[in-house]
Amino acid sequence: MRISNLLLSVALLGATATQAAVPVYLDDSKPLEERVEDALSRMTLREKINIIHAQSKFSAPGVPRLGISELWCTDGPMGVRPEVLWDEWEQASWTNDSCMAFPSLTALAATWNPEMAKLYGKSIGEEARYRNKAVLLGPGINIYRTPLNGRNFEYMGEDPFLAGKMAVDYVKGVQANGVAVCVKHFALNNNEINRHTSNPIVDDRTLYEIYLPAFKAAALEGGAWSFMGGYNLFRGEHASYNPILMNDILKGEWGWDGAVISDWGAVHETESAVKGGLDMEFGSWTNGLTNGVSNAYDNYWLANPYLNGIKEGKYSEDELNDKVRRVLRLTFRTTMNRNRPYGAMLSDEHIAACRNIGGEGVVLLKNQGDLLPINPAKVKKIAVIGENAIKMMTVGGGSSSLKAAYEITPLQGLKNRLGKEYEISYARGYVGDTTGEYNGVRTNQDLRDFRSKEELLADAVKTAKDADLVLFFGGLNKAPHNDAEDFDRTTMDLPYGQNELIDALAKANKNLVVVNISGTGVAMPWVNKVPAIVQAWYLGNETGNTLADILSGDVNPSGKLPYTYYTSLDQVGAHKLGAYPGTKTKDRFGNEMWDMPYNEGIYVGYRYIDKNKLKPNFPFGHGLSYTTYKYGKATVDKAVGAKGDKFTVSVPVTNTGKRAGSETVQLYISDLKSSVDRPVKELKGFSKVALQPGETKTVTFEIDEPALSFFDADKHAWVSEPGDFEALVGASSADIRSKVKFTVK
C-alpha cells in the first residue's frame, strides 16, 4: 500500500473516530445543562417552535433530524390511560393497553402513609414506563375547598400539609422510573363548574398558606419535572400562562427548572402564552369553529402565530429558548435517559400494591357494638344490598377513566372471601347509573333493571330482614354530577333515593353497615340510625378483595379522613360566605368569566370548623380501628427556645386492644398569641405507627420555625412571631389526646 494511501486511511480513521465521538447532547455522562445547551444550539427556529406544542392528542414532536425523541404524555393519576386515536379522545382499541387501576388519590391520602405514596408512585411509574410514556399527567393535588367539586376523588384532601407530604413521595416514586410527573392543576382549580372561566379571587396569604404549599412541596421536595397549568383564571389571567403563578412564583421564587404543560385546551391566545411562563401547549381548539379539527397543530397558539410573531420582531427568541430548554430538560430526564428501569404492567407487585394501598386507605367511620369485623359466631346470613356492590367504577369520570385489565366488585370480593363460610344474598336496592362506556371503553356490564323504585326497595328490605348482617354498598359513581370531571355535584345528598332506602334498611335490620363508595363527602342524614359506616374510596382493580379484607377483619382498618365530613354545606366556608360559584362577568377579552371570591380565606376545612366551633359528622383526620389506642402525655424537649430553634415533641402510644393495628398520630400547632388572626390549630406533622397488642411506641415530632410561621402578605414572606405555642397531639383534628405548651423567645 502506497504511503499516501496509508496516511490517508489513518487520517480517515482518525476522522471517523472523531466523527464517531458522541455529541454532548446525546451523551448521558455529560451534565444535563450541557446537553441542553448543546441541543439548543443545534436547533433551527422551526424545530424550536415544533417541540413546544402538541403533534397529536397526547404527544409532542422531538427533533427527528437530531435524534431528539418525541414526548408522549398519558393520563392519569390512578393508572395509564388506554391509547387514543391520533387526534381524538376515543380509545384506539389496542389490545395491549389494559392496565392496573390503582385506588383514587383520595384513598392514597387517607392512608396518611408516605410509604404507601412511594409504593404507589413506583408502581404506577412502572406501568407508565412499560407503556413507554415520558410524562404521567398526575398527581392532582388541588385542595378540597368544597365537597361539590367533581374531581375531589382525584385529589388529596383539604389540608396542604397532608397533600404535600403524600405528593412528594408519589412524585419520587414515579420519577425513579424515568417518567415525569405533571403535577396538576396549578393552581386554584378547586371546582369543575365553569372550570374554564372561574376566576378565583384569592388574597396572597390564603394563596400561600392553603393553595400553594402542596404544589411547592411537589416541586421542590419531590423534584417534579413538569407541572400542568389549570383551566381556570387567577386575577384575570388563565392559570396555564399566568405570570404570577408561573413566572413570579413557580419559576421565580421557587426557582423550579421544570416544564409547564397547559391543560388540554387551556390556551386561548399567543402573547400571554409566550410571556406567561407556558412551555408546552396541548389540546388546543385552534380555529374556534370545530373542536379538535384534525392536523390543526400548526395553527396552535404557540405554533405559526408565535413563529410569525418572532419573524415580525414582535417577540425575541429569549422566551422561546427558555421554553425549549425546559422541554429538552424534560426529554433528557425521561425518554433520553439511558439508565431508566424498564417498568412492568399488571405485575404481582402492582396487584398487591393496589390492595395494600386501598386496605390502608379505607376509613372506618363508625362501628357501634363492634358490628365489624364480621363475626362468624353471630352471623350466618349476609345480605349485600346496593348498586355499588356490583358496579364497575374504573370506567368514566373524565380523564382519569381507565381500561382496567379487570375489576373485582365488592360483591365478587365478598363471595371470594366469605362465600364458603356464609350465605350471601344480594338485592339491588336502587338503580343509579347504568351507562358503562367512556371514550369507547366499555364495562360490558348490563346494569339495566326495569323494576319500580318501590319493588326494588321492597325486595331489598325483604332480603335485609332475612339476614343476620346487612352490608349496604352505596354512595356515588363516575357519572356526571357524581365524582366526575367537568361537573360539580349540585348537592351533598346521596343520589337515586339512597337515603330513603338506608332508612328502610335500618328499620328492617339493626345490624346494618353502610359502605359508602365515593371520592367526596356526602350528607348522611341517617348517620345516627346506622351502627357501622365505612368510607370506601374508588379502590381500582382490587376493590372487592380490598373491601373483603377490611370487612372480614383480615385487614385492620387504619385510614383517616383527608377531609372534613360535613353535615351540610352550612358547615363549608366556600358556601356559607357565598363565594360559590361566584358572579358572572367578563375577562379582558370580553369573554365570560366567573369571579369567585374566596371569602373564607384560609378558613378551609377543619380550620373553618374550629373557628366556628362546628360539629361535622366526622372530623378531618378521623378513622377508627378494630383495636384501641391510648396516648400518653405529650412532652417537649424544652419549654423555651430561641427564634429558629427546633422543638421536639414526644408522645407514647399504646395498643390497648387485642389485635395489631396502625395508628396515625397527628400533630397540630396552635399559635396562642399572634398579631394576625390564625386558625385554632394547623396540621404540622403526622406519623403512622404499627403496634402489636399491648405494645407502646414513642412517636416524636420535630417542630421547626416554618411550622410556627404564617404568611405575611405585606412583607410577602413567612414570619414566625415570638410567644407561646401549643402542640396538640391527637387521633383526629377533633380528638386531641394531649397538649404541651412551649415558648419562643
- In this structure, is the dihedral angle defined by the CA atoms of residues 144, 148, 151 and 154, taken in order, positive or negative? positive
CB neighbour class for 70 (10 Å; exposed up to 12, middle 13-18, buried from 19): middle
Please say whether the beta carbons of 689 and 662 come within 8 A.
yes
Q: Which residues pair with 682 in a beta bridge?
A: 669
Q: Residue 241, Cβ neighbours under 10 Å: how many? A: 29
Q: Which of 158, 169, 263, 671 binds ligand GLC (CB under 6 A)?
A: 263
CB neighbour class for 19 (10 Å; exposed up to 12, middle 13-18, buried from 19): exposed
- Listed residue (275, 278, 324, 337) closest to 41, CA to CA: 324
Q: Which residues pair with 652 in a beta bridge?
A: 698
Q: Taking CB under 6 A as the rule, does residue 192 contact ligand GLC?
A: no
Stated length of the chain: 745
Q: Taking CB under 6 A as the rule, does residue 184 contact ligand GLC?
A: yes
Q: In the complex, what is the shortest distance from the CB of residue 711 to ligand GLC, in angstroms, rounded to a whole number?
A: 28
Q: In the complex, what is the shortest distance from the CB of residue 324 to ligand GLC, in angstroms, rounded to a whole number?
A: 23
What is the maximum alpha-carbon separation in the chain? 107
Q: How far is CA 607 from CA 145, 683, 722, 736, in A?
A: 11, 10, 22, 15
DSSP state of 356: H
Q: In the complex, what is the shortest distance from the CB of residue 634 to ligand GLC, in angstroms, rounded to a whole number?
A: 41
Nearer Cβ to ligand GLC (264/332) = 264
- Alpha-carbon distance of 399 to 291, in angstroms, equals 17
- Alpha-carbon distance of 99 to 666, in angstroms, equals 35
Q: How far is CA 230 from CA 196, 197, 280, 310, in A?
A: 8, 11, 13, 27
Count of residues of this chain found to bind ligand GLC when the rule CB under 6 A is applied: 6
Question: Site mask, ligand GLC, residues 343-382, x = CB under 6 A?
Answer: ----------------------------------------
Q: Which residues pair with 730 in a beta bridge?
A: 666, 736
Nearer Cβ to ligand GLC (473/487) = 487
Residue ranges in 611-670 that form contacts with ligand GLC under rule CB under 6 A: none
Nearer Cβ to ligand GLC (75/610) = 75
Q: Which of 104, 152, 399, 477 binds ligand GLC (CB under 6 A)?
A: 399
Nearer Cβ to ligand GLC (54/336) = 54
Residue ranges in 221-240 that form contacts with ligand GLC under rule CB under 6 A: none
Q: Which amino acid is at 413?
A: G
Q: Taking CB under 6 A as the rule, does residue 137 contact ligand GLC?
A: yes
Q: How far is CA 547 from CA 82, 402, 603, 637, in A?
A: 26, 20, 34, 42
Distance of CA 70 to the CA centre of its chain: 26
Nearer Cβ to ligand GLC (278/731) = 278
Q: In the complex, what is the shortest distance from the CB of residue 75 to ligand GLC, in angstroms, rounded to a whole number?
A: 5
Cβ neighbors of 187 (< 8 A, separation 6 or more) are 142, 207, 211, 212, 215, 230, 234, 239, 245
Nearer Cβ to ligand GLC (132/528) = 132
Q: Taking CB under 6 A as the rule, does residue 281 contact ligand GLC?
A: no
Question: Site mask, ligand GLC, residues 480-519, x = CB under 6 A?
Answer: ----------------------------------------
Instruction: Using alpha carbons only, give the angle 140, 143, 149 rounded to the nearest 5 degrees.
Output: 85
Q: In the complex, what is the shortest distance from the CB of residue 186 to ligand GLC, in angstroms, rounded to a whole number?
A: 11
Q: Which of 112, 225, 264, 332 binds ligand GLC (CB under 6 A)?
A: 264
Nearer Cβ to ligand GLC (237/485) = 485
Grid cell digits, residue 314: 414582535
Nearer Cβ to ligand GLC (165/184) = 184
The tally of CA atoms less than 13 A away on the side-chain side of residue 638 is: 11
Cβ neighbors of 8 (< 8 A, separation 6 or more) are none
Please say whether the beta carbons of 306 and 320 come within 8 A.
yes
Q: In the complex, what is the shortest distance from the CB of residue 137 to ligand GLC, in angstroms, rounded to a whole number?
A: 4
Nearer Cβ to ligand GLC (137/210) = 137
Question: Site mask, ligand GLC, residues 430-469, x = CB under 6 A?
Answer: ----------------------------------------
Please say whether the beta carbons of 479 and 523 come within 8 A.
no
Q: In the complex, what is the shortest distance from the CB of residue 264 to ligand GLC, in angstroms, rounded to a whole number?
A: 4
Q: In the complex, what is the shortest distance from the CB of residue 302 to ligand GLC, in angstroms, rounded to a whole number?
A: 17
Of 263, 279, 433, 488, the catalytic one is: 263
- Alpha-carbon distance of 230 to 174, in angstroms, equals 21
Q: In the complex, what is the shortest distance from the CB of residue 280 to ligand GLC, in angstroms, rounded to a whole number?
A: 12
Beta strands 437-438; 423-427: pairing state: unpaired
Residue ranges in 67-96 that form contacts with ligand GLC under rule CB under 6 A: 75
Beta strands in 598-643 (DSSP E): 629-631, 635-636, 640-641
Q: In the complex, what is the shortest distance from the CB of residue 141 to ligand GLC, in angstroms, rounded to a whole number?
A: 12
- Alpha-carbon distance of 542 to 539, in angstroms, equals 7
- Alpha-carbon distance of 727 to 636, in angstroms, equals 9
Nearer Cβ to ligand GLC (423/486) = 486
Q: Is residue 486 flagged as an active site residue?
A: no
- Alpha-carbon distance of 401 to 484, in angstroms, equals 10
Cβ neighbors of 466 (< 8 A, separation 6 or more) are 381, 383, 425
Q: In the complex, what is the shortest distance from the CB of residue 87 to ligand GLC, in angstroms, rounded to a whole number?
A: 13
- Alpha-carbon distance of 252 to 247, in angstroms, equals 6
Nearer Cβ to ligand GLC (89/526) = 89
Nearer Cβ to ligand GLC (105/372) = 105
- Alpha-carbon distance of 678 to 667, in angstroms, equals 17
Q: In the complex, what is the shortest distance from the CB of residue 49 to ligand GLC, in angstroms, rounded to a whole number?
A: 22
Q: Residue 217, Cβ neighbours under 10 Å: how many? A: 22
Just list the catalytic residues: 263
What residue ranges bind ligand GLC (CB under 6 A)?
A: 75, 137, 184, 263-264, 399
